[in-house]
Amino acid sequence: MKNNDRFNATEFSIEYCGLELPFEFFSSEYILSELEKFKELFGSFVKIENATKASIKKYYEENKKTLGENTRFFAYIKFFTYDGRDYGLVGGKTNYSNPDLSFDYLNSNKKDNRFARIFLKQESLEWSNTIVIVNHKTIPQKENDNKEALFIECFLQRRFNLFNS
C-alpha cells in the first residue's frame, strides 16, 4: 500500500489468476470535492450513510418532485473502509423502485470474478455502508433516463478508478 496525499488516494496491489496489478483508490472526501466541480453537469449528488434499499427509496420519495418524474435510474459509488477512512471502490447504476445495491462478499461456492469483492477478501477489508448517489438532470424523455444514468456510471468509473458492479 502506498499513500498519495496530493490526491487523497491509496494504492493497493490486487492479484488475480497469478497477475498482480496496482490500483489507486480515492478517498470519499476527494471524490465529493471533485463531484462538486461537476455538479452543473449532473442533476444532483447526495451522500447516504447507512445505505439500504429502504433508505434509498425514502430519499427518492422525499425528493421525487425535485428529481423529476422521469428520473427512475441513478448512478452510485460504493466505498470500502481502510484505516478509518472511506475510499471509492465500485461505480454502478440502478433504479429507485428496486435498488439492487449489494454489500455482499466473494462467493467461494462458485466462480466469482467480481474484482471489488476479490480485493476486499485479499486485503481483509469491509464495505463501508455509505454510498453516493449521482442523479442526472431532469429530462423530458422518459426513455433517456436509463441511458443517462449509465453514461454517468461510465464517467464515475473512469474518473475515480472504480470497479463495475
Query: How would you write the chain as a 3-class SS string?
Result: CEEEHHHCEEEEEEEECCEEEEEEEEEHHHHHHHHHHCCCCCCEEEEECCCCHHHHHHHHHHHHHHHCCCCCEEEEEEEEEECCEEEEEEEEEEECCCCCCCCCCCCCCCCCCCHHHHHHHHHCCEEEEEEEEEECCCCCCHHHHHHHHHHHHHHHHHHCCCEEC
pLDDT at position 95 is 87
CA distance linking residue 74 with residue 156, whole number of Å = 12
| Domain boundaries, given as residue ranges, for the chain | 27-164
pLDDT at residue 67 is higher than 60: yes
pLDDT digits over 108-130, tens only? 666 666 889 889 989 999 999 99
Stated pTM of the model = 0.89
Q: What percent of the chain has pLDDT over 70?
A: 89
Residue with cell 433517456: 144
Q: What percent of the chain has pLDDT over 90?
A: 49
CA distance linking residue 101 with residue 132, whole number of Å = 12
